[in-house]
């Protein structure tokens, strides 16, 4: 199967060219068979939720498919895709996505290994399940701010209007609770024309407020049949619950997620929108800290960046800047006192260079922060743990340490650009990415897909089932080459003792081994169950 092949002459309603057996698709062309681990998957799934759609083929091919209207609503009519008559797309050859197109989760494989997990490729299909006049779409933003939110809103509205002729689009004001608070904004291409030039979200946002039944009641009452939900992992869990309730009621409503997290901690996807902008803006703060530090004797600049559980922004900003002497992230524990500790390293760098810059992610070192037990037990409205300000804490600890030593007087400047970074408009790279995410989401909803997240996998737009997005968080792997590159760039110690370091390396190597007949590590529920039951040689 060539994931890049497309043809306008093939009927892309995959349900017209497949048959269903026990809830799984069997494709006559590829010879797919229903997954034999179906019952085990069902047992592992949350109660009252639909089972994952797993399609298997030859050579260990596994497609983790997304739900479709025809899975639970029979005899739905289809319509020709209006894009085929759209003059803007008349010059595009092979525009419609082929029924067999999928995108592999891993591109590096062993020549004798299984073909691995794939996702359905995003894009327009020749047949759609909505007429333009019947569509009543709704868009909602939830959680914290992130560069690019307004761009996604704009492109959803413009994509629905210009590509499919949809005129009725509502903006739900104030996050999930806006569904049952009756707060809506009418969105048109004219009203959203310039919003991508502003930071934040024109729809407003909030944390928490998720009452699934009330939300679906509101969707029914308003006649909404397409819901676009922009938010992080907690928001996507809410979107999954909304989809399950919609499916349970048998409603023809597409529930579509667009992943948003400035921390880049959503799994499977290459990156989240706003991440490039955040890294770029973080460099400005690092540069300011560097200027301050090198302008005085024994100057130290401390910059706190976003990253509650994942240190991607801190890591990439450090690599991009080249002015950082030490980067501290949640995934890599560190200690302050003693040989190999942070204090010793700071003293060494100050004696060598006369100044240094420290970047710390907001979730790093929380176990060291005073009163951490009390702070870790508290949560915000979204259920996230409330962390103490590690930037202020570590700045004070460094000051106190060197004041007590009285051998090396220091001048420390602390910079926290967190909310400045969150509130800026997205840069050019993220604007393009937001456009692709939004348009892919629209194509999928019009084609009758539901219960999925639009995301980039290995450079291709895909449709990812909700359970893959919400199963875990994405973390920096500190035994990976990227973290090694950072350590090489900063020359900082790993802050791990030899025993702990060796144990982590051995564990990672064991998981990532690629001997003959084995595949690379894959932590998805579906792939673990299928690999263990159908393909005993898979890892």
148 in a labelled binding site: no
Query: Is residue 498, in this structure, part of any structural domain at all?
Result: no
235 in a labelled binding site: yes
The arithmetic mean of pLDDT across residues 50-58, rounded, is 87
Q: Dihedral of CA 18/20/23/24: which sign?
A: negative
Query: pLDDT above 90 covers what percent of the chain?
Result: 64
Coil, strand or helix at 163: helix
Same domain, 320 and 410: yes
- Asked if 263 is an active-site residue, the reply is yes
Instruction: Estimate the crossing angle of helix 428-446 against helix 275-294, to 10 degrees.
Output: 160
Same domain, 432 and 409: no
208 in a labelled binding site: yes
Structure confidence at residue 314 as a pLDDT band (50, 70, 90): very high
Residue that terminates a domain, selected from 470, 505, 530: 470
Query: Is residue 302, in this structure, part of any structural domain at all?
Result: yes
End-to-end CA distance of the chain: 23
Residue 97 is classified by DSSP as B
Query: Is residue 337, in this structure, part of any structural domain at all?
Result: yes
Instruction: Estimate the crossing angle of helix 275-294 against helix 312-321, to 10 degrees.
Output: 60
Same domain, 260 and 358: no
Same domain, 94 and 243: yes
pLDDT at residue number 219: 95
Lowest mean pLDDT among 147-156, 257-266, 530-539: 530-539
pLDDT at residue number 195: 96
Q: Reply yes or no on whether the pLDDT at 30 is more than 90.
A: no
Q: Reply yes or no on whether the pLDDT at 45 is more than 50.
A: no
Query: Is residue 67, in this structure, part of any structural domain at all?
Result: yes
The alpha carbon torsion through 434, 438, 443, 445 (nearest 10 deg) reads: 150
Contacts of 363 (CB under 8 A, 6+ apart): 307, 308, 309, 310, 311, 329, 330, 387, 390
The arithmetic mean of pLDDT across residues 371-384, rounded, is 53
**Which of 100, 263, 265, 430 is an active site residue?**
263
pLDDT at residue number 533: 34
The arithmetic mean of pLDDT across residues 495-524, rounded, is 46
- Which of 187, 101, 107, 64 shows the shortest CA–CA distance to 443? 101
- Which of 262, 302, 263, 264 shows the shortest CA–CA distance to 285? 302
Coil, strand or helix at 137: strand
CA distance to 211, 261, 445, per residue, from 150 (Å): 25, 14, 20
19 in a labelled binding site: no
184 in a labelled binding site: no
Same domain, 338 and 442: no
Query: Is residue 399, in this structure, part of any structural domain at all?
Result: yes
User: Residue 409: which domain range?
Assistant: 275-370+385-424
Burial class (CB in 10 A: 0-12, 13-18, 19+), 468: buried
CATH number at residue 297: 3.40.50.460
The arithmetic mean of pLDDT across residues 299-324, rounded, is 95
420 in a labelled binding site: yes
Q: Are 527 and 538 a contacting pair, CB within 8 Å?
A: no
Query: Is residue 523, in this structure, part of any structural domain at all?
Result: no
CATH number at residue 97: 3.40.50.450
The arithmetic mean of pLDDT across residues 48-55, rounded, is 80
Query: Is residue 483, in this structure, part of any structural domain at all?
Result: no
Same domain, 70 and 218: yes
Same domain, 109 and 129: yes
Same domain, 301 and 440: no
Same domain, 293 and 257: no
Look-up of token digits 């500190």: 478
Query: Is residue 353, in this structure, part of any structural domain at all?
Result: yes
pLDDT at residue number 233: 87
* Digit-coded pLDDT (tens) for 151-195: 999 999 999 999 999 999 999 999 999 998 877 999 999 999 999
Domain count, the chain: 2
pLDDT at residue number 270: 93
Same domain, 222 and 282: no
Same domain, 408 and 442: no
Dmax over Cα atoms in the chain, in whole Å? 81
């Amino acid at each position: 199967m060539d994931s890049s092949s497309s043809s306008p002459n093939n009927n892309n309603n995959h349900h017209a060219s497949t048959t269903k057996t026990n809830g799984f698709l069997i494709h006559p062309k590829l010879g797919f068979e229903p997954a034999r681990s179906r019952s085990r998957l069902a047992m592992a799934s949350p109660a009252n939720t639909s089972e994952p759609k797993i399609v298997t083929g030859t050579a260990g091919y596994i497609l983790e498919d997304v739900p479709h209207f025809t899975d639970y609503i029979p005899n739905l009519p289809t319509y020709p895709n209006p894009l085929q008559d759209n003059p803007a797309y008349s010059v595009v050859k092979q525009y419609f996505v082929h029924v067999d197109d999928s995108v592999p989760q891993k591109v590096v494989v062993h020549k004798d290994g299984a073909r691995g997990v794939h996702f359905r490729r995003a894009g327009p299909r020749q047949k759609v399940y909505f007429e333009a006049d019947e569509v009543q779409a709704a868009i909602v933003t939830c959680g914290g701010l992130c560069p690019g939110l307004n761009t996604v809103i704009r492109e959803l509205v413009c994509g629905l209007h210009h590509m499919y002729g949809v005129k009725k689009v509502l903006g739900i004001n104030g996050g999930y609770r806006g569904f049952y608070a009756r707060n809506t904004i009418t969105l048109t291409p004219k009203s959203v024309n310039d919003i991508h030039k502003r930071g934040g979200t024109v729809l407003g946002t909030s944390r928490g407020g998720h009452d699934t039944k009330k939300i679906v009641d509101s969707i029914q009452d308003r006649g909404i049949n397409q819901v676009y939900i922009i938010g992080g992992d907690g928001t996507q869990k809410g979107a999954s619950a909304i989809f399950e309730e919609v499916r349970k009621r048998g409603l023809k409503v597409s529930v579509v997620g667009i992943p948003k997290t400035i921390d880049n901690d959503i799994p499977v996807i290459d990156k989240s929108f706003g991440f490039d902008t955040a890294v770029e803006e973080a460099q400005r703060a690092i540069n300011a800290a560097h200027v301050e530090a090198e302008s005085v004797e024994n100057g130290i600049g401390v910059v706190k960046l976003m990253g509650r559980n994942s240190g991607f922004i801190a890591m990439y900003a450090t690599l991009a800047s080249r002015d950082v002497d030490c980067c501290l992230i949640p995934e890599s524990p560190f200690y302050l006192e003693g040989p190999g500790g942070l204090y010793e390293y700071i003293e060494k760098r100050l004696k060598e260079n006369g100044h240094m810059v420290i970047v710390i992610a907001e979730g790093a070192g929380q176990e060291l922060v005073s009163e951490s037990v009390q702070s870790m037990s508290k949560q915000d409205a979204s259920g996230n743990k409330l962390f103490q300000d590690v930037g202020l804490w570590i700045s004070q600890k460094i000051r106190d340490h060197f004041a007590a030593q009285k051998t090396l007087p220091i001048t420390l400047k602390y910079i926290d650009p967190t909310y400045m970074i969150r509130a800026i408009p997205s840069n050019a790279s993220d604007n393009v990415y937001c456009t692709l995410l939004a348009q892919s989401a629209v194509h999928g909803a019009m084609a009758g897909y539901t219960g999925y997240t639009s995301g980039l996998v290995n450079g291709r737009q895909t449709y990812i089932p909700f359970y893959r997005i919400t199963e875990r968080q994405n973390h920096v792997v500190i035994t990976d080459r990227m973290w090694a590159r950072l350590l090489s760039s900063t020359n900082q110690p790993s802050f791990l003792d030899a025993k702990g370091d060796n144990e982590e390396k051995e564990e990672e190597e064991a998981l990532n081994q690629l001997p003959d007949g084995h595949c690379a590590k894959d932590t998805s529920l579906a792939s673990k169950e299928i690999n263990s039951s159908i393909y005993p040689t898979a890892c």
